[in-house]
Amino acid sequence: MILVTGGAGYIGAHVALELLEEGHDVVVLDNLCNSSLETLSRVETLSGRQVEFIHGDVRSKATLNRLFARHPVKAVVHCAGLKAVGESVREPLRYFETNVSGSVNLCQAMEQAGVFNLLFSSSATVYGDREQMPLDENCPLGLPTNPYGHSKLMAEHVMKSVARSDPRWSIGLLQYFNPIGAHPSGLLGESPCNTPNNLLPFLLQVANRRRPALHIFGTDYPTPDGTGVRDYLHVMDLAEGHLKALDRIRGQKGVSVWNLGTMPTALVS
């Protein structure tokens, strides 16, 4: 059985679906702060299989301990966390509590349960504001420009320290760029319950006439039209990358790092 934290969210739901379609049993832990059970219902419809759902939070040690005591979890895909850059600037403590302390709690619960295979859904923000392109796994980590990036980097440091201290651990860190897109069926996509934080949901809301216009921020970047550059990755490719990484870490020890993205990059405009 595979535990997917944040499995009702955009990326977690696609990962859960891929796992189910590959024949794995899946248990999802999610506090539904920016997702809904409707997403998991659609995952079940698409896969033809049942998902075990636990309404809970990685910040709760008691919830995590009960989960591992009651379910035969063999590996964890850790997608739970807060991810809005702007919000992280306004509420840094909330981000550190969820993304860092929550990851510490998860590692502690896993260790207590004897589960040592962990795949962490991290972010390319851990590289900071680097001019070097393309970024590869050998690039030194930089200084993130916001609390969200810092929280991901701190969680990575926690996991690397854990793996160095105990050779039983096998940890994969997925540092990916900007996921976009939806499942080919159209049943799964990025549908945040709160205000969107990424470009594509805003664009779709304009197309659906739920917003009057799309405002692009930033016009002084060193690009042909002054708008920013993004490395977009289809969410289905990202989910497949999670499965391949999970297979890899289950056959090795220590920490492995993979960047997930596409080249060339695209202008926001």
Catalytic residues: 148
The dihedrals phi and psi of 238, each to the nearest 5 degrees, come to -65, -45
CB 174 within 8 A of CB 11: no
Torsion of CA 223, 225, 229, 234, to 10 degrees: -140
Could you tell me which of 162, 199, 194 has the C-alpha nearest to residue 181?
Answer: 199
Question: What is the sign of the dihedral through the CA atoms of 182, 171, 103 and 88?
Answer: negative
CB 229 within 8 A of CB 267: yes
Q: Where are the beta strands (DSSP E) in 113-241?
A: 117-121, 170-176, 178-180, 229-230, 232-234
Tell me how many degrees the CA angle 135-137-141 measures, rounded to the nearest 5: 75
CB 96 within 8 A of CB 154: yes
The type of residue at 12 is G
Could you tell me which of 259, 240, 233, 246 has the C-alpha nearest to residue 175?
Answer: 259
Q: How many CB atoms lie within 10 A of CB 99?
A: 25
Looking at residue 21, what DSSP letter applies?
H
